[in-house]
Amino acid sequence: KHTLSGSTERTLMKLLVDDNTDRVVGLHMVGADAGEIVQGFAVAMKAGATKAVFDSTIGIHPTAAEEFVTMRESVKAPAIEI
């Protein structure tokens, strides 16, 4: 599915959220400008942003970065203790 109008470029994005605290604890991105986009979100994570904060943020359209604040489908995976 291409979310950016007219784009055939593919991008992979994943947001990691602590189920107990709702804090965003990580994110992954593979695609164009990933370094630039991830750096901006690193500031939000360092400040303790929650998934609710991401959900209430208006995305800048049309950008790949807006996908991080419009992710709504949750995929639960069991935690792995190291």
Residues of the chain with pLDDT under 70: 1-7, 79, 82
28 is catalytic: no
Choice among 21, 40, 61, 63 that is catalytic? 61
- Give DSSP secondary structure letters for 5-73: TT-----EEEEEE-TTT-BEEEEEEESTTHHHHHHHHHHHHHTT-BHHHHHTSPPPSS-STTHHHH---
| pLDDT at position 72 | 72
| pLDDT at position 3 | 53
> pTM of this prediction?
0.72
**Architecture of the domain whose range is 12-70:** 2-Layer Sandwich (3.30)
Kindly report, residue by residue over 56-66, the tens digit of the pLDDT. 988 887 777 77
Kindly report, residue by residue over 19-31, the tens digit of the pLDDT. 999 999 999 999 8
